[in-house]
Amino acid sequence: MSTLRLQVKVLVDGDCRAPLYLYNGYVSFFGEVDPVNGLHRATGEGISGKAFAFKGGRGSTVGSYVIYALKYYGKQPACLLVEEVEPIIVTGCVMADIPLFQVEKGFLSKIGFKRGLLVHERGSNYVEIEYE
Amino acid sequence: MFLTREQERMLNGEYGWAVAKAMAIIVKTGEVLGASRLVEISHAHVSGVSYTNILDPGLDFVRRLFLSGGRARVYTTINPGCVDYSGLSSLIDGSFNEKQAVIDESLIRMGFKPVFTCIPYYHRPPSQGEFLAWGESSAIAVANSYYGASSNREGGPLALAAALTGYTYYAGLHIPENRVARVVVRVDPSASRNPGALGLWIGENIREIPLLKGFNPPLWDLKIMLAASAASGSHAFIAVEKITPRGFYKVDPLEKVEVEWRDLEKYIGLEPSGGSVLGYLGCPHLHPWEFHLVYEYVKRRGRLPGRNRLLLTIPLEVYERYRDKVLYLRSLGVDVAAGTCPVVSRLTRRFDHLVTNSGKAVFYLSKQLKINYYLTETRRVLEIVYA
């Protein structure tokens, strides 16, 4: 078991301790995420209760409502980790009170493992990832 | 963030719960995006109107803002709903009529203009230099790239919040220094003829603000390209040489690329051979001028043959103004739906193939309907449904 400590920009703060789901691509929450079942349609993976890491947002401005709907249906991710920030995701996370962190560009391409546990404590400016 | 006394009073609840909630969304989003102040807007366009898109959580949110006194403080238009407002379409599923009516009533009584269209610039073309808070990714890109009025890619709730306060955060594309094109894209004439595929390519391959050279289409084709690039990517602004007002952006190129037909081939799918075909035009909604062109073509060709269907989606006002033409088209088997589209609604039946000029429609519908698609130019769509 190793631990990676990563400086992040905390955009929406909050505690997070959750299994990591890495997706090295962009996500349109509208169309590509099913809010009722908490699924990322591109891979079929569940995002509910996970630390969902992806490159950034794309697509529809309805995405904010989909993030809000995830929370409403109790299927929200524990936190989001992105390389690029955009208003649609920020507004969704602000409304749904889902922690949102930004990491440096290229993080998802460089990272050498697939699974891990992401931990962030409110007030700190880093996340720790425990992986095998 | 610096707030004026009025803005602070809004945030503190002196204008009621709805305004305070709206202000909190704007201020928090703005702080995250590095804004130091707010800016007054001249037009809000609210996306996230369709019930099948926002479902009960969105409906509750909109309803609560209305019931607690939220009212438009600025000119505001709204995006398409999930039902056909002409009531004549047999392809758009009307079963969510009641839920949609609750959303519509809330929005209309908050004082928003019920245009139900994704081309708000048809109702009020922005003038250069205006500040806007628009949802609807395709319209935002048109506002910036064609009109030289600035809007960020506001999420639906933020555009709604801006309508209730008259403000948005001052960051992103509102700041002239951020409107710098970094990638010069030379568009080969072979790539210009399919604006939908060109947009999908730009969205997937370019992250910085591009400057397009050699692409000089009318607004109708430009909106197709911009809508596609805002779906497969997150482009709010694409500088287009000879179209985007010159003072609106600067160019500081780091990279030059060329795009030609063979780059786009992977986006066009397969031309149908056999099976039922849904031809679709109107994503984004048809402007009256395009509607008339399609009308003339259909009138010349007559009744649609076989099992093929053609769906047109138009702004509600275009239906109201050209009702006779819409009815005539329907008598020839063409389905015309007003104030909605298949991306924000559900279809009543299945088809084997979707044939469209819209890269945006392909991006979303190929995921929703798991359908074969063919992305081509407008005229070819019509030829295929009449073949």
What is the reported pLDDT for A47? 98
The answer as to whether B43 is a domain residue is yes
Catalytic one among A2, A28, A48, A60?
A60
CA atoms within 13 A on the CB side of B352: 11
In terms of domains, do B99 and B225 share one?
no
Do B56 and A85 count as a contact with CB atoms less than 8 A apart?
no
Number of domains chain A is built from: 1
Q: Which residues in chain A have Cβ-Cβ distances shorter than 8 Å to B53?
A: 30, 62, 65
Span B3-23, average pLDDT = 97
The CATH number for A106's domain is 3.50.30.10
Number of domains chain B is built from: 3
What is the reported pLDDT for B161? 98
What's the pLDDT band for B186 if we cut at 50, 70, 90? very high
Instruction: Name the percent of chain B lying above pLDDT 90.
Output: 97
Q: Which residues does B315 contact at the CB level (< 8 Å), separation at least 6? A: B115, B116, B117, B119, B122, B123, B285, B338, B339
Among the three residues B211, B243, B267, which one is the final residue of a domain in this structure? B267
Mean pLDDT of all residues in chain A? Answer: 96
User: By CB neighbour count within 10 A (0-12 exposed, 13-18 middle, 19+ buried), where does A96 fall?
Assistant: buried
Among the three residues B153, B174, B195, which one is the final residue of a domain in this structure? B174
Span A83-98, average pLDDT = 96
- For residue A89, the enclosing domain spans 2-131
What is the reported pLDDT for A114? 82
Q: Which residues does B375 contact at the CB level (< 8 Å), separation at least 6? A: B194, B196, B197, B200, B267, B268, B269, B356, B357, B358, B359, B362
In terms of domains, do B300 and B259 share one?
no
Q: Which residue of A lies nearest to B50 if distances are taken between CA atoms?
A: A62
In terms of domains, do B26 and B162 share one?
yes
- DSSP collapsed to 3 states, B82-149: CCCCCCCCCCECCCCHHHHHHHHHHHHHCCCECCCCCCHHHCCCCCCCCEEEECCHHHHHHHHHHHCC
Query: Cα(A48)–Cα(A58) distance, rounded to whole angstroms?
Result: 20
Min distance A49 CA to chain B CA atoms (Å): 19
Mean pLDDT of all residues in chain B? Answer: 97
What is the reported pLDDT for B333? 94
What is the reported pLDDT for B306? 83
What is the reported pLDDT for B20? 97
Backbone angles phi, psi at A51, to 5 degrees: -90, 105
What is the reported pLDDT for B307? 86
**What are A10-33's pLDDT values in tens digits?**
999 999 999 999 999 999 999 999
Do B363 and A26 count as a contact with CB atoms less than 8 A apart?
no
In terms of domains, do B283 and B240 share one?
no
In terms of domains, do B12 and B156 share one?
yes
In total, the C-beta contacts within 8 angstroms joining chain A to chain B are 117
What is the reported pLDDT for B370? 83
Q: Which residue of A lies nearest to B360 if distances are taken between CA atoms?
A: A59
Which one of B51, B52, B142, B158 makes the best mutation probe of the A interface by having the most chain A beta carbons within 10 Å?
A: B158
- For residue B311, the enclosing domain spans 277-385
What is the reported pLDDT for B146? 98
The interface predicted TM-score (ipTM) is 0.94
In terms of domains, do B17 and B157 share one?
yes
The CATH number for B120's domain is 3.30.499.10
The answer as to whether B95 is a domain residue is yes
Does B172 lie at the interface with A, CB-CB under 8 angstroms? Answer: yes
Catalytic residue at A64?
Answer: no
| Reported pTM | 0.96
**What are B20-66's pLDDT values in tens digits?**
999 999 999 999 999 999 999 999 999 999 999 999 999 999 999 99
Closest CB to B155: pick one of A26, A35, A91. A91
Among the three residues B174, B209, B233, which one is the final residue of a domain in this structure? B174
